[in-house]
Amino acid sequence: MHKFHRFHTVTNHFYISRPIFLHRNVFDAWPAELQSAMRDAVGKAVAFQRALAIEEDREARAAIEAAGCEITALTPEQHALFREAVEPLLQEARRTYGAAMFEMVEAAKSAAAGAAEVKV
């Protein structure tokens, strides 16, 4: 994008999920030791992916700035105005995809914030 657009704004409105799926009945039938090992491996994979995403963000920012582009971070007040402006889109998505999905996203964000607090 930075080759075509000079100005960029950090809005933090984009989310990409990288789910890990297991068949519950099969997982529940595994020995406890294997279940524990899988939970541990998934936790490590999630931490690795999040660290990788942070590094990719730094690299992308550096490439954007190196190309002479400008990156603007919103103030809390500006971010509140942005959220207000896109609220109708969020409500449309809630009607389209259902509340359960958004509840899961909020739960994941809370869990990630809690995990970040523990690691600090």
pLDDT, tens digit, 9 for 90 and up, residues 1-11: 778 889 999 88
Q: How far is CA 50 from CA 54, 60, 112, in A?
A: 6, 15, 10
pLDDT of residue 55: 93
pLDDT, tens digit, 9 for 90 and up, residues 82-111: 999 999 998 999 999 998 888 888 888 787
Render 38-95 in DSSP notation, one character per residue: HHHHHHHHHHHHHHHHHHHHHHHHHHHHHTT-EEEEPPHHHHHHHHHHHHHHHHHHHH
